[in-house]
Structure 1
């Protein structure tokens, strides 16, 4: 899939199309999802669907981006970025991990991994739209914490990516591979505490001079 970049038309039934597409993609996967079925589930004609999304790949990316960015906006709106790093990072880790482990988060991850080999631009576009935005949000917080003398980080991009990966430790891989069906709050809290403790052990202000 190498669809050109196009401006998405928004109209009265835009959200209705997204909701129907979300249900079909999560049930049938990217390749298995037909435009006919998406239109039927959304309760719109194919002509209406195509008027908004001329390409199925564009529609999938919009579904995934909309939900992921909604989750990210909700999370950052609740952050008190002036609070101590342990509190802010714990909030961030909690939101990220619970989204990673949600049915939607797991299914989107599976679809992207399964389809990006055949449709490389799908993976690239998703990465730029979601993980890169999470990285930018974390980096913005790090800059403020460094300026306040709370963190000492010399590579902001690496630190942001490391924190995200720490939040996936153990549980994400087990649920993705079907080793576990669910994760308990006790298990989630354990991963959150571990991620924050390890990150602060490396990047807490006591680890070295504050750098940008």
Structure 2
């Protein structure tokens, strides 16, 4: 899978060939087709693996941890740093580019990555509402709002290759604003 990932990142989905992927992986094309019946299925498997790993690592939240500010700060930093790591935008750009003609790949990417992250954060927020720490009408919307706030002014410029990855200081600044805004909206009024 690593060889295929490298070829897709270097050449893009459309230019990548199963022959080149097999060569890079050190296997025959026939062997590759035993495991994946098409380039689309191989790309889908790679994105599924990457997104699943992201959701499990970045969104590992302990519902018993009631220090919401610290939890959201850690999550926000991890989430933004994950998106800003070298090579992170290439799969996203590729999925966006091909999802119009292959919607199942776009759907799979979204469900195993972004949607799973929102769901995991939503469950954490629900536990904090149940504990009386937060007051949230719709935890799914609140989770999506928080994550979107963390990448405000960061994701789109990176996606379009308009800027270099932000510094840790910039990430901390944007995430800090997102956390403070979130808590101002959802902490119970005393």
TM-score normalised to the size of structure 2? 0.92
RMSD: 1.6
* Alpha-carbon distance, 1:80 to partner: 4.4
Larger mean Cα displacement after TM superposition, 103-112 or 198-207: 198-207
In the alignment, structure 1 residue 19 sits paired with structure 2 residue 12 = no
* Alpha-carbon distance, 1:72 to partner: 2.5
Runs of 4+ in 1 over 6 A off after TM superposition: none
In the alignment, structure 1 residue 168 sits paired with structure 2 residue 151 = yes
Q: How far apart are the structure 2 equivalents of 1:102 and 1:28?
A: 19
Provide structure 2 residue ranges, at least 5 long, that are not aligned to the other structure: none
SS of the aligned residue for 1:206 comes to: coil
The Cα offsets for residues 94-124 of structure 1, whole Å up to 9 and x where unpaired, read as 1111111122321111111111122222212
Residue 36 of structure 1 corresponds to 19
Residue 99 of structure 1 corresponds to 82
* Alpha-carbon distance, 1:190 to partner: 0.8
SS of the aligned residue for 2:120 comes to: helix
Q: Which of 102, 106, 127 is the aligned partner of 2:110?
A: 127
SS of the aligned residue for 1:165 comes to: helix
Q: How far apart are the structure 1 equivalents of 2:79 and 2:114?
A: 11
* Alpha-carbon distance, 1:59 to partner: 1.4
Note if contact 2:80-2:151 (Cα within 8 Å) is conserved in structure 1: yes
SS of the aligned residue for 2:162 comes to: coil
Q: How far apart are the structure 2 equivalents of 1:204 and 1:104?
A: 37
Q: How far apart are the structure 2 equivalents of 1:127 and 1:200?
A: 27
Residue 145 of structure 1 corresponds to 128
Q: How far apart are the structure 2 equivalents of 1:175 and 1:131?
A: 17
* Alpha-carbon distance, 1:45 to partner: 1.1
The Cα offsets for residues 124-147 of structure 1, whole Å up to 9 and x where unpaired, read as 221122222112111110111111
Q: How far apart are the structure 2 equivalents of 1:19 and 1:100?
A: 19
